[in-house]
Amino acid sequence: MAVIVGVDSICYTRTMRAKALDLAGFLDRIAAHGAKAVQMDPLWPSQGLDLSEASLARLQAMLEARGLLLVVKGNSGGLGSLANPPEAAQEDIALFRSKIEAAAKLGAPIVRIVTRAYPYATKHTTPPRGVSRAQVIDWVVANLKALMPLAEDLGVKIAVENHGDLRLAELERILAEVDSPALGVQCDLVEQAAIFEDPWLAAERLLPHAFTVHWSDACPRLDEAGFCVRVCPPGEGLVDLDSASRVIASLPQDVLIFVAFQAESEELEGAYVEAYMQDLHRRFGKASDG
């Protein structure tokens, strides 16, 4: 197996929103850190990207110039949900199909998808009233099944991320019922902690199905505003990165590992990317060279 390390665009959210870094600068910066891959959305209006042929060609040239492999974000910015009845999800399905087609054109092997089946209200979603959780997962399964023929035909894999929207058992049920070699997981090492599931148990159960990994560490916080987890330097939080490394090294499949976090300031974004990339090179340098 080979391990390829990279950076998710979410790491520089604050810096890019402040216009302190544009797309070219972002790609240059992560390449300078030794990234061999990037996870981002080719539909990124604030960076002048859309899904037109001209825009995809421009992005492909930028990636090739820096030797970066792309993993496509199938949904970002509140767009795209699989947690609706199939008859009401056609616009979302069309969006995901367009991302799969874009991935094939860009030579991107994987499209990462968040189902948005959140059992609680978020900025962009509200759980349906009077609908069982089992029914919502049925919708997710049906909508994924609608995407798989295109993904399989184009040779693109879909990685469903555990994103605080799915319990471990629910994600395992989705994998079993869709039952496609083109469907796997993006294993985020932190996300299950935010919904009170053991992050190490999540790693043990999800990493065997992983095409991609979100690599970060986090510390829990509890104050008058409630419970949350916040990114911290590697090895200082609740994630057992050493054990996760051993599991990843034992996997038969190739894995792309992305530094991925949301920091509390622009300064921390840069510092944490550097720290996590050094951590990944230390752990997987030989495998990533292969």
Please tell me the CATH code under which domain 8-213 is placed.
Answer: 3.20.20.150
Pick from 170, 169, 211, 216: which is nearest to 191 by CA? 216
pLDDT, tens only, 114-154: 999 999 999 999 999 999 999 999 999 999 999 999 999 99
- Distance (Å, rounded) from C-alpha 196 to C-alpha 204? 16
Pick from 102, 105, 100, 134: which is nearest to 117 by CA? 134
**What's the token pair of residue 71?**
């993993």
How many CB atoms within 10 Å of residue 243? 12
- Distance (Å, rounded) from C-alpha 239 to C-alpha 123? 27
pLDDT at 189: 97
Residues 6+ apart with CB under 8 A from 236: 217, 219
pLDDT, tens only, 189-222: 999 998 999 999 999 999 999 999 999 999 988 8
Reported pTM: 0.96
DSSP assignment of 207-275 equals: GGGEEEEEE-EEEEEEETTEEEEEEESTTSSS--HHHHHHHHHH-SS-EEEEE----SSHHHHHHHHHH
pLDDT at 95: 98
Structure-derived torsion over alpha carbons of residues 129, 131, 137, 143, reported in degrees to the nearest 10: -80
pLDDT at 283: 97
pLDDT, tens only, 84-117: 999 999 999 999 999 999 999 999 999 999 999 9
Does pLDDT of 286 surpass 80? no
